[in-house]
Structure 1
């Protein structure tokens, strides 16, 4: 395993918020829910504004394994910080159930993060791009190898950097109070660009759409994410 912090189980969480409430939630989250989750064994990987969806908040968190995930979630959501602030957090949200439970597509394809977190007020530069491919049932098992041997080289030739890649984790959700999309057959990969213009210059890898078509159950989802001031994963 590479040096650094690394989470073998990752949640990709996408929240739909009431209009005008995203910055309210981000301020609360960055102040109250970062170190307090990490104190119970949760890796807060990144928090983001979706640049194309003004009422969406996206964040990632990681765990060593499914058992640790269950224990850490029980500790945090049963603990004093969430109990003190949950009403304020929940008041910003319309929906918080769009959650993918993921594992690295290959042993070395998860996030590699530095241990230092930006201090409050340290505005992020650049964007993170999260691409979700929803797979046909018959394509799921073999798709990580297809990505590694065929699709990733196409992206590399187009100048697209691949930060990490993940596949759906189908283990039991040990904390059912927080639902996950248990029927998902997803492959999610992340890239980094200095700005939207740079992303648009490199987004269309020649031949990628044609190579993908036999594997996909529906069109890809692409989210351009602007890190919050305290996000560890940054553009």
Structure 2
């Protein structure tokens, strides 16, 4: 088992790739084999990679950096390196679009991913453990598009009012983030710079657990009030990503 190089990342990319039909498993196999340790060797953290349950041709993943300068250095090293040069054509051949990227920072102190104690199996261990079958875990990412300037106040309310409700109802808040509006330090890879978002990442044991926890939350008047406040501050409907981790995803 390999331990992550850092416990949490104050700069995070949420990347959603639209793939050609029936190419997701091809990309996942390549990514999990070739692009995990090799990216982390440059100083970044591969936080998690996922299948989107509602979009069969979508691959979603997260990676983190110590700061924006570290991001520039790590991305320059990886995309200028030999591993990407060897495998980029095979990876790009699976994709229609890879530019759906949100650059994020923690919504409050301590809201970043806590990766302490998490372990990622090697590719060989995955094969020996389960013959390549998918491991348990379920992650939900909610993306709320907020009016500019509303994110700080809303994040404070969410931390004070919503986080205790999540804990009380057995859901795991894995992280909460807002848009990082700093200049893109690696413009070769575009980000959705005009977006202003509040992102909630929640973990569950499995899909059934998620459904039960969500039903319990929906019955809570306090949770409904939080949801209505989010809607009132939003510029368009929220996006909800229902995700299952790949076998080598650290976050699950």
8 Å CA contact 1:151, 1:211 repeated in 2: no
Task: Specify the alignment match of 1:229 in structure 2.
Answer: 247
Query: Among residues 140, 143, 152, which one is paired with 1:132 in the alignment?
Result: 143
- The corresponding residue for 1:185 is 196
Name 1:72's counterpart in structure 2: 74
Q: Determine helix, strand or coil for the equivalent of 1:133.
A: strand
Partners in 1 of 2:137 and 2:98 — Cα distance? Answer: 26
Which residue of the partner structure matches residue 175 of structure 1? 186
Deviation at 1:203, TM superposition (A): 1.8
State TM-score, norm by structure 1: 0.93
* Moved segments of 4+, more than 6 Å: none
Task: Tell which deviates more after alignment, 152-161 or 41-50.
Answer: 152-161
Q: Secondary structure at the match of 2:193?
A: coil
Deviations 1:150-188 (A, max 9, x none): 332343444332111111100010111100010111111
Number of residue pairs the alignment of both structures matches: 231
* 1: CA distance, partners of 2:63 / 2:158: 23
CA distance in 1, matches of 2:39, 2:251: 16
Structure 2 unmatched runs, 5+ = 1-5
Q: Kindly indicate which of the two structures has a greater share of residues assigned to helix.
A: 2
1:48 pairs with 43, 46, 50, which one?
A: 50
In structure 1, runs of 5+ residues without a counterpart are: none
CA contact (8 A) 2:101 2:190 kept: yes
> How far apart, in 2, do the equivalents of 1:107 and 1:209 lie?
22
8 Å contact kept, 2:21–2:57: yes
